[in-house]
Amino acid sequence: MDELKITKRTEPVMFTIRVDKSIVDFYDELSRKTNRSRNELIGMALEFAKDKIKVE
């Protein structure tokens, strides 16, 4: 597995999505264990996924 690289974003934007409660519960627990905000963790996960998805 590749490493997750954490970088600061310079232009944050807000948007709303709907997800299953189990996803929220997962990130709430991860947030508690890592002392990072749920928002920060989801942003990191989206950035990681963005680099992995190939569109042809």
Express each pLDDT in 28-40 by its tens digit: 999 999 999 999 9
CB distance 52 to 46 below 8 Å: no
State yes or no: pLDDT of 1 exceeds 70: no
pTM of the complete model: 0.72
| Helix boundaries (H) for the chain | 21-34, 38-52
pLDDT at 30: 96
Angle at 49 between CA 33 and CA 20, to 5 degrees: 60
